Structure 1
Amino acid sequence: MSNAPDTGRVVVTPVRVVIALCLLAPFVALLWVGSYAKVDPALAGIPFFYWYQMLWVVVSTGLTVLAHQLWRRDQRTRTAPAAEGGASE
């Protein structure tokens, strides 16, 4: 038996669930066309249908950046104990 961590096993953590929700939210919001297929309320003369989609471009960018930061932090915390354990032996 080896003391090496099992890297082939998928571990579902709360952080990974949040990452998945951050990446899934824009798809759900934009594929549900019935929720925004209307003209009113207009913003500066732009129908709701258009400005809602453009708003999601900005929101999607923020959610993707957040997911990336959470993923990097998750990877650092997962690899840190393995590195510390290997250095002490």
Structure 2
Amino acid sequence: MMSTSDAPTRGPARPLPYVVAGILLAVAIVAPLLVPLYARTDPRLYGMPFFYWYQILSVFIEALILWAVYLIVTREDNRRRAAVRDLSGPAADDAAEVIS
């Protein structure tokens, strides 16, 4: 019988959500480092060179990417915690009594 400290707190992980989150984070990190792609003045937006308005826009885009990553990882973590709760709930206790 497992003690409370030995009991797992999360179920098995699915790799896909973490891979997607990693790719999104890599895009958010690498895109600003590719300066030659946006180091130009045209097209202008209300007289502001592309270089500046692209950087301002990228802040909002990267905030959306980080929000999406947070949602993906949080949902996966909640799914993994629910899997353990389902296994260790009253039904699991009943099953253990039947077996013994």
**Could you state the TM-score of these two structures normalised by the residue count of structure 2?**
0.74
Q: Between the two structures, name the one with larger relative contact order (CA 8 Å, sep ≥ 6).
A: 2
Q: Which runs of 5+ in 1 are unaligned?
A: none
Instruction: Kindly report which structure 2 residues correspond to 1:76-87, keeping only aligned pairs within 5 A, or say none.
Output: 76-87=78-89
Equivalent in the alignment of 1:29: 31
Instruction: Kindly report which structure 2 residues correspond to 1:40-59, keeping only aligned pairs within 5 A, or say none.
Output: 40-59=42-61
Give % identity.
Answer: 32
Residues 6-65 of structure 1 show CA distances to partners (whole Å, capped at 9, x for unaligned) of 97xxx5611111111222212211001111111111111110111111111000111111
Look at both structures and tell me which one has the larger radius of gyration over its CA atoms. 2
**Could you state the TM-score of these two structures normalised by the residue count of structure 1?**
0.83
Q: Which runs of 5+ in 2 are unaligned?
A: 94-100
Shift of 1:72: 0.8
Q: State the number of aligned residues.
A: 86
Aligned-residue Cα RMSD (Å) equals 2.2
Structure 1 residue runs of 4 or more that deviate by more than 4 Å after TM superposition: 4-7
Query: Is the 2:9–2:84 contact (alpha carbons within 8 Å) kept by the matching residues of 1?
Result: no
Question: Does 1:20 find its partner at 2:22?
Answer: yes
